[in-house]
Amino acid sequence: MIKPDFSQPLPAHLDSAHFVGIGGSGMSGIARLFVEAGHRVTGSDRSENHNTEALRELGAVVSIGHDAANLGDAQVLVYTGALWPDNPEYLAAVERGIPVVHRSQALAWLIDKRRLIAVAGAHGKTTSTGMIITALLELGHDPSFVNGGVIQSLGVSAATGSGEIFVVEADESDGSFLFYDTAVALITNVDADHLDHYGSHEAFDDAFVEFASKATELVVVSSDDLGAVRVNGRLLGARVITFGESASADVRVRSVSTEGNVALTIDWQGASYDAQLRVPGHHNALNAAGAFAVLVGLGFEPRAALNGIAIFGGTERRFELHGTVRGVRVYDDYAHHPTEVAAALSAARSVVGSGRIIAIHQPHLYSRTQLMAADFAATYEHLADHTIVLDVYGAREDPVQGVTGELVSERFVDRSRVDYLPDWQQAADRAAAIARDGDLIMTLSCGDVYRIIPQVLASLDAVRVS
């Protein structure tokens, strides 16, 4: 992979840009904003998806497969941390002296001097960002934004607004979230991840301290997450608002009910505010509190801010229902870390009633699977009724000998509650065979596991027919 090099600036006058990996959740949003700003956009990805289709409809030229010819006459090449140094488009750009910039640089160039709200954390970023955006729109503001997932009520993950506020989901995975000139920083949690980049838990904490310290107006940080508490303890001179269920939180969450969608009470500056969210799961009560803290910290009226947050209806790939066959609901979720998996399965438990949860887990990254296999197994065994484990989605990493999905399945204490099935059709058939009326099947990963859902639905239907 190519490590970010922030020394190459974007041209002062930019007509055209080429995006390698343009179909990704973050890259597609940035590419959309470049199109909306009037720039000529080209890009490539290894496969089609709804993002590539949407960008073509906007006027971008998108190629499937990577080839030096795709670069055309672009003035800059934009890349993600998943770019390999042998990529032909990258090599062509280097040979021709075209600036090669990380996506965070391209986004910072778009943000320019607008008032930036940057949302960071190992989990909860996409939902928290979506809540802030939804509330700002409801409050009569028109922010620009780039989120890591499509906001269902808006149908997009990014848009150019007329207001002064710009909201972004800031990616900590490769340290690029430190590149922004942030006004308001929201830290949902500091649960160590991406140690392949940072090398240690201490370095991960250090990055979040630097991120928060750069915020010029406000830092909003969890009072419940131990990593966030560590980071908060190191902030000097910053204006900080804490949020969580802790009695010491400035924005305190209490009386949380997770029967169906979430009901909660928020205490702030001596007053209490009740709300019912449109998204399930205890973790979303905390995401709402973080978004609320950002908005009241910016001076918005508390009741109106919470009402705006409550309208948020979710993002794609976050507890997203894809269909129901013979009484079995099939959901997809982006969860790819044990903490995220626990939150997603807990949300599923709150809606499944007396039914059972059948999880289909696609391990993401060889390094994460090797490091956290036991944690994944314990989480699934505790919170799901049955788990089917696929093979590893390597993303930016090369395969590691001996690291497969079986590392997770073999760590189950009760092996009767898990299947390791690398063949997707076998996995879909097994899930359908187990499931009965009232059950819930959920795919979990930030890889391409959502592509198995049509097979699962077809297998459920075939069982009904037979």
Radius of gyration (C-alpha) of the chain in whole angstroms: 22
- For residues 184 and 267, state if they share a domain: yes
What is the signed CA dihedral for 110, 111, 117, 121, rounded to 10 degrees? Answer: 40
Residues 444 and 365 in one domain: yes
324 an active-site residue? no
| Residue 176 near residue 103 (C-beta atoms within 8 A) | yes
Q: How far apart are CA 375 and CA 342, in angstroms?
A: 10
Kindly write down the DSSP assignment for every residue of 348-376, as one continuous string. HHHHHTTS-EEEEE--B-HHHHHHHHHHH
Residues 288 and 234 in one domain: yes
* 78: alpha, beta or left? (left if phi > 0; alpha if psi -120 to 50): beta
Per-residue pLDDT for the chain (466 aa), expressed as one digit of tens each?
566 666 777 777 889 999 999 988 788 999 999 999 999 999 999 888 888 999 999 999 999 999 999 999 999 999 987 778 889 999 999 999 999 998 889 999 889 889 999 999 988 889 999 999 999 999 999 999 999 888 888 888 899 999 999 999 998 877 778 888 999 999 999 976 655 555 577 888 899 999 999 999 999 999 999 999 999 999 988 899 999 999 999 999 999 998 777 999 999 999 999 999 988 888 899 999 999 999 999 999 999 999 999 999 888 777 788 899 989 999 999 888 888 898 889 888 888 889 999 999 999 888 889 989 999 999 999 999 999 999 998 876 778 889 999 999 999 999 999 999 999 999 999 999 999 999 999 999 988 898 899 999 999 998 765 5
Q: Are residues 434 and 390 in the same domain?
A: yes
Query: What gap in Å lies between CA 63 and CA 20, rounded to an integer?
Result: 10
Question: What is the DSSP annotation of 281-329?
Answer: SHHHHHHHHHHHHHHHHTT--HHHHHHHHHT---BTTSSEEEEEETTEE
Run of H or E residues at 380: helix 366-383
- Residue 232 placed within a domain: yes
Q: Are the C-beta atoms of residues 207 and 172 closer than 8 Å to each other? A: yes
Residue tagged active-site, from 126, 188, 387, 404: 126
Q: Which among 33, 8, 22, 19 is positioned nearest to 179, based on CA atoms?
A: 8
Q: How far apart are CA 302 and CA 274, in angstroms?
A: 11
Please state, in angstroms and rounded to a whole number, the distance separating the CA atoms of residues 403 and 394. 10
Query: Within a domain: residue 4?
Result: no
Q: Would residue 146 count as lying in a domain?
A: yes
Question: In whole angstroms, what is the distance from residue 15 CA to residue 41 CA?
Answer: 9
Please report whether residue 9 resides in a domain.
Answer: no
Indicate the angle between helix axes 125-138 and 302-310, nearest 10 degrees.
Answer: 120
**What span, in angstroms and rounded, lies between the C-alpha atoms of 400 and 260?**
41
Residue 303 lies in a domain: yes
| Structural domain of 341 | 320-465
Paired tokens of 74 = 């672009």
Q: Can you tell me the distance from the alpha carbon of 332 to that of 322, in angstroms, rounded to the nearest whole number?
A: 7
Instruction: Provide the CATH number for the domain around residue 283.
Output: 3.40.1190.10
- Respond yes or no: is residue 320 known to be catalytic: no
CB burial of residue 113 (10 Å; 0-12, 13-18, 19+): exposed
Question: Do 201 and 331 fall within a single domain?
Answer: no
Q: What is the pLDDT of residue 439?
A: 96
Say whether both 201 and 288 belong to one domain: yes
**Residue that finishes a domain, picked among 72, 103, 134:** 103
Distance of alpha carbon 256 from alpha carbon 21, whole angstroms: 40
Residues 351-361, buried b or exposed e (16+ Cβ, 10 A)?
A: bbeebbbbbbb
User: Do 302 and 326 belong to one domain?
Assistant: no
Q: Which of 89, 125, 340, 397 is catalytic?
A: 125
Nearest to 374 by CA among 332, 424, 409: 409
Which contacts qualify for 38-47: CB closer than 8 Å, 24 or more apart? 39/14, 39/15, 40/15, 40/16, 41/16, 41/17, 42/16, 42/17, 42/18, 42/70, 42/71, 42/72, 42/74, 43/18, 43/19, 43/70, 44/18, 44/19, 44/20, 44/70, 44/89, 45/21, 47/23
Mutual orientation of helices 302-310 and 282-297 as an angle, nearest 10°? 140
CATH number at residue 71: 3.40.50.720
Residue 155 is assigned to a structural domain of this protein: yes
| pLDDT the model gives residue 198 | 55
Would you call 126 a catalytic residue per the annotation?
yes
Residue-level pLDDT at 197:
56
Residue that terminates a domain, selected from 57, 77, 103? 103
The answer on 177 and 296 residing in a single domain is yes
What pTM was computed for the model? Answer: 0.78
The residue with tokens 């930030």 is 446
Three-state secondary structure call for residue 29: helix
User: For the chain, what is the domain count?
Assistant: 3
- Greatest CA span in the chain, whole angstroms? 68
Domain boundary among 292, 310, 328: 310
What is the CATH number for 388? 3.90.190.20
Asked if the structure places residue 429 within a domain, the reply is: yes
**Residues 265 and 209 grouped into a single domain:** yes
- pLDDT value at residue 85: 83
In a shared domain, residues 292 and 423: no
* 88 and 130 housed in the same domain: no
Amino acid at 64: I
Closest CA to 179 of 311, 6, 303, 313: 6
Q: Does residue 280 lie in a domain region?
A: yes
From the candidates 89, 169, 320, 381, give the one annotated as an active-site residue.
169
Helix boundaries (H) for 1-87: 25-36, 50-58
Question: 405: Cβ–Cβ under 8 A, 6 or more apart, which residues?
Answer: 361, 362, 363, 369, 389, 390, 391, 392, 420, 422
The C-alpha atoms of residue 201 and residue 208 are separated, in whole angstroms, by: 11
Are 148 and 95 members of one domain? no
